[in-house]
Structure 1
Amino acid sequence: MIRKIALFFGVVFFFMFLSLRGQQHATLQLIPYPQKLTLGEGSFFSESPEVVFSGVSSEEAGILMNELHSSWQTISRKKKLPERDVIVLRKIRDEKGAVSGSYELEIRPEKIIITANSDEGLFYGVQTLNQIMASCKRKALPCLKIEDSPRFPYRGLHLDVSRHFFDAGFIKKQMDVIASYKLNRFHWHLTDGAGWRIEVKKYPLLTEVAAWRPVPTWKEWWQGDRHYCQKDTPGAYGGFYTRKDIKDVLEYARSKHITVIPEIEMPGHSEEVLAVYPELSCSGEPYKNAEFCIGNDNTFKFLETILDEVISLFPSKYIHIGGDEANKEAWKKCPKCQQRMRDEGLKNVDELQSYLVHRIEKYLNSKGRELLGWDEILDGGLSPNATVMSWRGEKGGIQAVRMGHDAIMTPGEYCYFDTYQDNPFGEPEAIGGYLPMKKVYSYNPVSDSLTVEESKHILGVQANTWAEYMPSGKHVEYMIYPRLLALSEVAWTDPDNKSWDRFRLAANKHVAWLWKRGVNAHPIAKGVNMLQFVDTLNREVRVSFECDRVPTEIRYTLDGSEPGLQSALYATPLSVKDSAVITVALFGDRKQLTRSQKYKVYYHKGVGAKVTYNLPYSDHYIAAREKALTDGYTGGNSYGDGKWQGFSGDMDCIIDLGKITDVHTIEANFMQQPGPWIWFPEWTEIWVSDDGKEYIRLNRIDNTVSRDTEGMMIRNFGYNGDDIKTRYIRYKAHQIPKDGAYMFIDEINIR
């Protein structure tokens, strides 16, 4: 009996021990999460530990001491190793060839030891230690051992400083933040049509004129005449980095183990250059072309001079040349470009662009550098040693690695931080789209379609921040953070060690830490997301809600009233058999945290009905193909969420309800976002028929919303009136013709 009791309490204490260890794991808010973390027994506590370095240069020791000061206000450096209250930072020669940036961190009751085979590894070990300190509120630290190394060698952030200029101090501030999350590349987008941002003595007009515009925001400039002005013009907006500025930033980056990759755009996105040096364009006239004349030898003299200046400043292996979105029409008519094509045996203008890329790569290689470009550099044939940065999805990156080239993944669907990250109706204007933190976190840069050998060519991942709609540094930070924290874990942590639930808890803590550091991070969520599951067997829609902000409560009503603290607490999915209006809001600390949101949910009469398309939908936005408009799913805040079906022209479809049916409502939601060229239809028409041959027009709805209206909008176009009997419904929508424009529709709702 005594043995049984002893066994019982042994089991109880064992599970209590496991529970305590689990709680300790949960309290360590580490981002990115280490590859291996083992908790021990006991804890380390010291208000003023002493630091001992071994194998570390005096310069690096100073850098590491500065990083440690962010956690310990009182800390001192010692040459001899004390017995207790000590932090040991040891650089060793690693015969195993550990990955650059790897480290081990051990916390014992008497000391903390960080070991690495590189300065970079010690730096990252200190970042982890700082996060442990913050997690434990600078009290006793749990004994543990961490063995950590990065998944990818390239872990980057891109920032566009052409559309809006951000000074060197702001750039260094971002480096402070990204280094603390173990990112090691800063892609500096220095030139583009909206402004030239780097000093070049030989071409003074680039910074005297091409760096300045007469209006403060990109949007005003883009919608105006897109001209530039002298820097001393009253009201001139712009700026550029002097050689001194750049050297200062580069030295700061070096102290943070960040490599800065400069980008000089070519052959397109070069309006600012050609406005002040029009002889380098095909027309020879300012404000007419955005692409360099590739048939002009002076173009290459200019570009090589610029690259010489860049190479003299930037030590990075890569020089990014852009290469994206070139409008090649001028080349087709330009005598010089056509002569170049004949001389070089080039078949088309894609190969003409490839000629420029090859020639520039050869020049960079002669200087000991390598070419990096957006995935359009694949068009017409990839240069021998080029690395591809894949932004138009993953296709370009996958194509490059199968050709034996390296690639960096930065697809817009997961990595473009100029998109909305929360309900667009409560957010400042963005270019469009919808990319919440959870989706960023879900990304895996290595496609399942790649072999093990091919996947080795995926160097890493990068977040891209384009600043069209970000006129201030605060706005930039609001868009970058905390999404960049999610991407840092994508870049560093092996997929098997990732956990969304753990990361979400940690991210909520880190946002508060970022605020304390003066970083204007987004508060993670200002609303509630709805998810749907359409069950055709039981003829119902099951609705669930989620929010990334924790700890919080979701409360809802079904009678149209505003939710309050006494309203129903959401816990399990709600079943909708016919229709429902669900009003939700987020609560915490006994108060409402967000404004309410109304969701209309229907299991309508058209669910599962056959749809015949008289005009095709877009190959790029197929949604559920022929089932998309009657599958019961309504679209969310992103036109790319798989629920919205896109049309690059008019829309015309017929729905067969299968039998004569009583109907009083036929409606559909359309989306408008001027940024990505998505507009409401000019008009829609609804026609009905009993036999599918003779149709009667039931309604025509004209659009009254201007195409210039800012922000993201969703509007219902439909009929709601007296009951009618019909079997066939023809829904037509007309779009004002414009190349590259889209019309998006989510569901044709029939009740």
Structure 2
Amino acid sequence: MIIKKLKLAALAFCLIGTAHAQQSAAQLSIIPKPSETIVTNGHFDLNEEVVILAESGQSRKSATVFNNFLHQLYGIRLPIATFDHGTPSIKLSISSNEETTEAYQVEVTEEGIDISGSEKGIFYGLQTTLQLISTNNGNLSIPTVSIKDEPEFAYRGIMLDVGRHFFEVAEIKKMIDLMAYFKFNKMHWHLTEDQGWRLEIKKYPKLTEVGAWRDSTIIGQYWDFDPFVYDGVKHGGFYTQEEAREIVQYAADRMITVIPEIELPGHSSAALAAHPEFGSFKMDGYEPKDGKPLTGSVMAMNEKGEPYDNDLNTTVPGFWGVQPNIYGVKEETFQFLEDVLTEVMDIFPSEYIHIGGDEAPKDHWKTSAISQDVIKKEGLEDEHELQSHFITRIEKFLNQNNRKLIGWDEILEGGLAPNATVMSWRGEKGGIAAAQMNHDVIMTPNSHMYFDHYQAEDQTTEPVAIGGFLPLEKVYSYSPRPETLTTEQQNHILGVQGNLWTEYIATNNKLEYHLFPRALALAEVAWMGKTQKDYDEFTTYRLPHRLAELEQINVFYRVPEATVSITKDPNSERHQVQITPLVKGSKVYYTVDGHKADQTATAYTSPFLAPITGPDHDNLTLRYIVVTPEGRQSNEFSTTIE
């Protein structure tokens, strides 16, 4: 059949390969790599005569998602039926009713395809099938193969911060499509922040009327200027509850649970800009001589120590960093937060609700008569135990509503809430401590899982980021279960998550630049665990196909460094240089004479012998660029030939 032209603006899938050629299991470009794969010498032809056999409602929904991907990419849809018509088919068979299991099997013969497993497993089997498709002279085919697969970790997540910069519904759906394709199952949605409140709360409309917008945003790194330099552009936005439900359902159809985060008690400036009466300011409890308290006997003060007027809105900050504002430890605030969380729970069916709990400065609590009175009344040691008291009260409310609390590892300080799950971000220390206390843990250390970090050691070659250096190989090297834990304690490690903080990520292109290809490495960390991972195999066989695929469907990934191999030529004793790009079909242009590399430089065609020395009789510097099949040019990379 004639395949229609790929639609680049569509969902994130493109299916590439060499048809009819027998491949080893290692050479199949499936990410994440399946647990067990046996390849035989044959293929199954995929065309519009093939029927998808799906008996259950969820299987038909998964088949419809599969069909949508196929149609948007190739212009075809496969009929979906509930019984065998005697034609070639993709048969979906429920072999497990366990809701938690994600295992599946794919059996491809020349006559048809059988996919079996739980409902979730069948969905993942369909994603694997999509990645198996190859093209040959306008025809689609799938190699005959037997696959048995299941994930190592139950929690495989990516966090998207929309508080610093707002992203449209369509952009989030595109990210969800990509996550589903690579078998992620949790999207942690960071919805509230100092710089913006992003979710409609019907009982408190000012949260979005005021808290969702800032007048301006700083330019450059927030430590570069004193005073800050601002762009003068109003930024903001929020999701209506209907839009949030739409995203939740869209993700659920792709086996992804959306976990909302409502930050407390810190990172609350946007909320307090709308409702300062719920804050803890420097002189909570102060009774002004000629002013009126905002709520009961509590008087909120501005940063100058002056009482706020009832009608005065504070400003949503346009600069980054840890803000001093914090919620007040008072009944009015707890009622406000319970009202907010009640509406949040009505939108998000997730068993987990994330409450943040990180970077909460306690200076205002130290000078607040109300806070100090609570410390004395509850017999608490200090403000750290006061935060634990605050979070424990919120957890009790969530537990009463059959939900579980997740917080960043700062919630360990002052004592951990009884049933809390910890996200360990300041390294692994917090996660290890929580697991040793028999609490569940999600590992997301900033050393390996912060995708807002730079991807090159030379930061001048990269777009502005928050700092740090996290290359692809370091992500791939991560093992979420610390060896210092016992086997029983390691069982509390639910999984792993990559984080996209967006202080310096304002567009969808830049979001994708930071996310890919590192998310592909994370997909294998989360699915495969430690034992099967092989970075050389990953970059040689699987990554090149998938990156070329991402480009064809208009994903703005970072073009990674090539693999450069430098060996001694046995005949001449000179250095032989081999350059292998990590995007299938790419071209490489290089120099070794000190000049910058561009597309006028020498085109790499095969391994070459380098000059004996550099232009100044010193070490050689190999400079090169990678140009992808679609014409994307990488940054200039360099390596020393000693």
TM bin, normalised by shorter chain, reads 0.7 to 0.9
Question: Would the aligned equivalents of 1:50 and 1:77 in 2 still touch at CA under 8 Å?
Answer: no
For 1:285, give the aligned amino acid: M
Q: Secondary structure at the match of 2:470?
A: coil
Q: Cα distance, 1:478 vs. partner?
A: 1.5
Question: Would the aligned equivalents of 2:366 and 2:383 in 1 still touch at CA under 8 Å?
Answer: yes
Q: Cα distance, 1:269 vs. partner?
A: 0.7
Q: Secondary structure at the match of 2:542?
A: helix
Deviation digits for residues 338-358 of structure 1 (CA, Å, limit 9, x no counterpart)? 111111111111111111111
Structure 1 stretch displaced more, 566-575 or 162-171: 566-575
Aligned partner of 1:514 among 513, 525, 550 = 550
Q: Indicate whether 1:580 and 2:613 are aligned.
A: no
Aligned to 2:153: 152
Aligned to 1:281: 279
Q: Cα distance, 1:83 vs. partner?
A: 4.2
Aligned to 1:37: 37
| CA 328–592 in structure 1, closer or farther in 2 if over 3 Å, else same | closer
Structure 1 residues 605-644: aligned runs within 5 Å? none
Q: For 2:487 and 2:268, how far apart are their aligned partners in 1?
A: 39
Q: For 2:417 and 2:209, how far apart are their aligned partners in 1?
A: 34
Q: Percent identity?
A: 39
Q: Secondary structure at the match of 1:246?
A: helix
Aligned to 2:488: 453
Question: Would the aligned equivalents of 2:160 and 2:499 in 1 still touch at CA under 8 Å?
Answer: yes
For 1:516, give the aligned amino acid: Q
Question: Would the aligned equivalents of 1:585 and 1:594 in 2 still touch at CA under 8 Å?
Answer: no
For 1:507, give the aligned amino acid: L
For 1:519, give the aligned amino acid: V
Question: Would the aligned equivalents of 1:29 and 1:506 in 2 still touch at CA under 8 Å?
Answer: yes
Q: Cα distance, 1:554 vs. partner?
A: 7.6
Q: For 1:227 and 1:364, how far apart are their aligned partners in 2?
A: 41
Aligned to 1:639: none
Q: Indicate whether 1:342 and 2:345 are aligned.
A: no
Q: Cα distance, 1:438 vs. partner?
A: 1.6
Aligned to 1:655: none
Deviation digits for residues 245-276 of structure 1 (CA, Å, limit 9, x no counterpart)? 11111111111111110000011111112223
Q: Which has the larger radius of gyration?
A: 1
Q: For 1:516 and 1:557, how far apart are their aligned partners in 2?
A: 29
Q: For 1:161 and 1:174, how far apart are their aligned partners in 2?
A: 13
- Structure 2: which 5+ residue stretches go unaligned? 1-19, 282-299, 305-322, 567-576
Aligned partner of 2:478 among 443, 465, 488 = 443
Kindly report the root-mean-square deviation, in angstroms, between the aligned alpha carbons of the 2 structures.
3.6
For 2:483, give the aligned amino acid: D
Question: Would the aligned equivalents of 1:30 and 1:506 in 2 still touch at CA under 8 Å?
Answer: yes
Question: Would the aligned equivalents of 1:274 and 1:287 in 2 still touch at CA under 8 Å?
Answer: no
Question: Would the aligned equivalents of 1:404 and 1:457 in 2 still touch at CA under 8 Å?
Answer: yes
TM-score normalised per structure 1: 0.68
| CA 516–286 in structure 1, closer or farther in 2 if over 3 Å, else same | farther
Q: For 1:363 and 1:574, how far apart are their aligned partners in 2?
A: 71
| CA 316–592 in structure 1, closer or farther in 2 if over 3 Å, else same | closer
Aligned to 1:737: none
Q: Secondary structure at the match of 1:147?
A: strand
Q: Secondary structure at the match of 1:585?
A: strand
Q: For 1:295 and 1:126, how far apart are their aligned partners in 2?
A: 50
Aligned partner of 2:79 among 68, 76, 88 = 76
For 1:205, give the aligned amino acid: K
Aligned to 2:348: 314
Question: Would the aligned equivalents of 1:544 and 1:574 in 2 still touch at CA under 8 Å?
Answer: no
| CA 587–465 in structure 1, closer or farther in 2 if over 3 Å, else same | closer
Q: For 2:134 and 2:185, how far apart are their aligned partners in 1?
A: 22
Aligned partner of 1:500 among 535, 543, 555 = 535
| CA 139–168 in structure 1, closer or farther in 2 if over 3 Å, else same | closer
Structure 1 residues 342-421: aligned runs within 5 Å? 342-421=376-455
Q: Indicate whether 1:464 and 2:503 are aligned.
A: no
Q: For 1:417 and 1:473, how far apart are their aligned partners in 2?
A: 14
Higher relative contact order, chain-length normalized (CA < 8 Å, sep 6+)? 2
Structure 1 stretch displaced more, 214-223 or 498-507: 214-223
Q: Cα distance, 1:202 vs. partner?
A: 2.0
Aligned to 1:640: none
Deviation digits for residues 37-62 of structure 1 (CA, Å, limit 9, x no counterpart)? 011232211322433435412x5404
Aligned to 2:572: none
TM-score normalised per structure 2: 0.79
Deviation digits for residues 53-110 of structure 1 (CA, Å, limit 9, x no counterpart)? 35412x540431331343361421234324452111111246xx69611110000110
Which structure shows the bigger proportion of residues in strand conformation? 1
Q: Secondary structure at the match of 1:140?
A: strand
Aligned to 1:269: 267
Structure 1 stretch displaced more, 583-592 or 34-43: 583-592
Q: Cα distance, 1:545 vs. partner?
A: 8.9
Q: Secondary structure at the match of 2:251?
A: helix
Q: Indicate whether 1:61 and 2:60 are aligned.
A: yes
Q: For 2:519 and 2:166, how far apart are their aligned partners in 1?
A: 21
Q: Cα distance, 1:215 vs. partner?
A: 2.1
Q: Cα distance, 1:586 vs. partner?
A: 4.1
Deviation digits for residues 147-189 of structure 1 (CA, Å, limit 9, x no counterpart)? 0111111111100101111122211121111011111111110
Aligned to 1:172: 173
- Structure 1: which 5+ residue stretches go unaligned? 1-19, 229-233, 532-542, 603-751
Aligned to 1:329: 363
For 1:305, give the aligned amino acid: D
Aligned to 2:109: 108
Q: Indicate whether 1:91 and 2:94 are aligned.
A: yes
Q: Cα distance, 1:414 vs. partner?
A: 1.0
For 1:448, give the aligned amino acid: E
For 2:67, give the aligned amino acid: L
Q: For 1:597 and 1:92, how far apart are their aligned partners in 2?
A: 50
Question: Would the aligned equivalents of 1:52 and 1:80 in 2 still touch at CA under 8 Å?
Answer: no
| CA 271–596 in structure 1, closer or farther in 2 if over 3 Å, else same | closer
| CA 236–554 in structure 1, closer or farther in 2 if over 3 Å, else same | closer
Q: For 1:35 and 1:313, how far apart are their aligned partners in 2?
A: 36
Structure 1 residues 530-545: aligned runs within 5 Å? none
Q: For 1:574 and 1:384, how far apart are their aligned partners in 2?
A: 66
For 2:546, give the aligned amino acid: H
Q: Cα distance, 1:493 vs. partner?
A: 1.5
Deviation digits for residues 406-444 of structure 1 (CA, Å, limit 9, x no counterpart)? 000111111111111235333211111121222111111
Q: Cα distance, 1:561 vs. partner?
A: 4.9
For 1:521, give the aligned amino acid: Y
Aligned to 1:610: none
Q: Cα distance, 1:446 vs. partner?
A: 0.9
| CA 572–335 in structure 1, closer or farther in 2 if over 3 Å, else same | farther
| CA 25–308 in structure 1, closer or farther in 2 if over 3 Å, else same | same
Q: For 1:168 and 1:316, how far apart are their aligned partners in 2?
A: 19
| CA 99–237 in structure 1, closer or farther in 2 if over 3 Å, else same | closer
| CA 205–172 in structure 1, closer or farther in 2 if over 3 Å, else same | same
Q: For 1:279 and 1:286, how far apart are their aligned partners in 2?
A: 11
For 1:197, give the aligned amino acid: R
Deviation digits for residues 719-744 of structure 1 (CA, Å, limit 9, x no counterpart)? xxxxxxxxxxxxxxxxxxxxxxxxxx
| CA 545–108 in structure 1, closer or farther in 2 if over 3 Å, else same | closer
| CA 546–343 in structure 1, closer or farther in 2 if over 3 Å, else same | farther
Deviation digits for residues 673-719 of structure 1 (CA, Å, limit 9, x no counterpart)? xxxxxxxxxxxxxxxxxxxxxxxxxxxxxxxxxxxxxxxxxxxxxxx
Q: Cα distance, 1:471 vs. partner?
A: 1.2
